[in-house]
Chains A and B, each alone.
Chain A
Amino acid sequence: MNRRHLLAAPALALGLSALGGAAFAQDPLKVGFIYIGPVGDHGWSYTHDLARRAVEEHFGDAVETSFVESVAYGADAERVMTQMALSGTDMIFATSFGYGPDMNAVAQRFPDVAFEHATGYIQEAPNVSLYNARFYEGRAVIGHIAGKMTETNTVGYIASFPIPEVVMGINSAYLHAKAVNPDVNFRVVWVYSWYDPAQEAAAAEALMEQGADILMQHTDSTAPVTIAQDRGIYAFGQASDMTSFAPESHLTAILDVWAPYYIERIQARIDGTWEAGNVWHGIEEGMVGFAALNDAIPEDVRAEAEDMIERIASGEYHPFTGPINRQDGTEWLAEGETAPDGDLLGMDFYVEGMSGSVPN
């Protein structure tokens, strides 16, 4: 038997086992994860890693996962994905929008590997799938709670970058705060970072100086909720349940819940039914969740919040339902009209009533 035959033998065996159905024990499916930050950030990357662990638990020996943390966009990401594919990984989840060009380049070279890209928009290969969460649904709920609970009528918002994802979050929270409190004012500080505890802390302090008694954040660290706890004001956590960092101040948190999607997609890959798609899931599908509501929230507000969560989940209510005007007074959505996804994904304007402007 020469080398070629030696190599062919296992391939033949594999073919037979496929024909024979699931009678033979199969190799575990290898799934690789790539994170933009450290798994211990308690924010974005941490929630993806929680889901990875849920995958391990769910599938047991049928799936083997691996991950690399703090992978930079560009050459590093491309290299990590390529090495994963070369080492026999069957499915790769890359969990930040900037991995798009790298993932598509690698996907073209490895047509048999399934690629899943979080919050991306580039699909240049048939084996690249996109998924994202409708976090603005969660923002609507915390906006409502904040509007009801603020005493200074000033809500502080720690924003990362002026991109549609963040702008739509601000608008959603503001609209629902204003709906229950016409005098409410949002103050936004842009920190130009997703994760920078020192800057986020400084922003939190600055917002409190300006009278904010409730903080919201679109950044990943626990610094803002920790400061809120120290100073005795309220705050909402981000991405994961941050209650333990601010037991009295943490009203709730919008949770990133990736596990159901990951389990569904990996199951599809195992079954051989995986296909590239492009989904934007929300509360209904369970991709957006909430940490336990704090006891500090009054009973009626809690009931309203829970009701809103239910109505969004059932599809009865869309957080962007007209009439809504742009900040400059021009009409965006007419009475009863709901926002098309395309408008949301390109949102670069504030809604009417917001002060300040989106930096450009």
Chain B
Amino acid sequence: MLRLEKRAQPSNFWNWATPLLAVALTMVAGAILFAFLGKDPFAAIKMIFWDPLFNPQFAAYSRPQLLVKAAPLILIAVGLAIGFRAGIWNIGAEGQYIIGALCGAAVALAFFPSPGWYIFPLMVLAGAAGGWAWAMIPAILKTRFNTNEILVSLLLVYVAEKILAAMATGRMRNPDGAGFPGSRNIAQYPAASNPEIIAGSGMHWGVVAAFIAVIFTYILLHKHILGYQIRLAGQAPRAARFAGVAPARLVVMCLGFSGAMAGLAGLFEVAGPARMISIDFNVGYGFTAIIVAFLGRLHPVGIVLAGLLMALTYIGGELAQFMLGLPGAAIQVFQGMLLFFLLALDVLSNYRIRLSWPEAA
């Protein structure tokens, strides 16, 4: 009989081995799923994981695209990870991402079409401030009225989506856009655009910001007293209080930081790859980043790897759709399995599995 025995301390080995095992199991289960759909499972797995990186026909294009797709995920996920470490659950990064993009776009559209080196930096500030401010709503409600930040931040996503739709069809609508919803093409406005820094590299300022954020959070979490307090608050809240950690300050700090990161991600996206504010501007990066944060073990370096892996499944998933005719839903199931296996396998880091036989009565 299988028996689970709680470990005194989570196993460090399994902590890092389970994500790899989860990826492997996802491949196996995914292959079975694809086989049931009547597709060659090996071809499908190869198409998702190998071809975007090494196919001679399109890898030169899709490799840099990994950075484009992963950058917002990583930027948001490192912000979230800090809060998650402290047991502060910001589920509303998607909303903060939208508001950050709206604030940044508002600056760009206000200055249009005047040139000026200061416009893009102002947009960056506005994007971060917008995301921060949107995250302050659950933060203040939690510290003042003890509301649940999970619910408040999540529900504010839907509010942000309505504001986005109203802006895309109203105040921010392109006056030269033939009445269609959506703003001017910000990527075509030189003073406000966030183009590739080196052509064909996929590197835009959002990618740079993501890497800076990763280094910053690494230092914060592992070298700074605040990082110690964050980890302590997450692992032993009572002990943290005795150690002089002010919970309210931590809530405001963590939600504010993750909100600002999400806002930045939105700003870089709207001025670069997404080009403009549209009704459907947000595509779920804020939610996918939660998966990325956990897949990366809430560790900045792990998050980079997890973000790249998620991006790979997206890009490879699209390839599998039009090259092999796999349905889009099958790709989503595949991505969902990744998180499922990861969470299920967490049991291995916290428990030991023992084989035992019931004693004869």
Contacts and interface: CB of A to CB of B under 8 A. Distances in A.
Do A and B belong to a common assembly?
yes
B57 A346 contact: no
Interface string A93-130: 00001100110000000000000000001000000000
A347 interface: yes
A98 B182 contact: yes
B57 A73 contact: no
Contact of B269 (A75, A79, A192): A75
Given A75-B269, A79-B318, A161-B169, A345 B179 contact: yes
Contact of B280 (A69, A72, A121): A72
A38 B280 CA distance: 15
Given A69-B327, A161-B279, A79 B65 contact: yes
A245 to B, nearest CB: 21
Interface string A68-104: 1111111110111011101110000000011001100
Interface residues of B, number: 43
Interface in B164-190: 165-166, 169-170, 177-182, 185, 187-188
A164 interface: yes
B278 A73 contact: yes
Contacts of A347: 179
Task: Kindly state the interface size class of chain A when it binds its partner.
Answer: 35 or more
B287 to A, nearest CB: 13
Contact of B281 (A74, A78, A84, A164): A74
Contacts of B275: 74, 101-102
B278 A98 contact: yes
Contacts of B283: 72, 74, 76
Interface string A27-68: 000001000101100000000000000000000000000111
A360 B322 CA distance: 39
A86 B57 contact: yes
Interface string A151-189: 000000000011110000000000000000000000000
B319 interface: yes
B87 interface: no
A348 interface: yes
B360 interface: no
B299 interface: no
Contacts of A69: 321, 327-328
Given A162-B169, A192-B162, 10 more contacts: A72-B280, A73-B281, A74-B275, A74-B278, A75-B68, A80-B322, A87-B57, A192-B169, A193-B165, A346-B179
Interface of B: 57-58, 61-62, 65, 68-69, 162, 165-166, 169-170, 177-182, 185, 187-188, 269, 272-276, 278-281, 283, 314-315, 318-319, 321-323, 325, 327-329
Interface of A: 32, 36, 38-39, 66-76, 78-80, 82-84, 86-88, 97-98, 101-102, 121, 161-164, 192-193, 345-348, 359-360
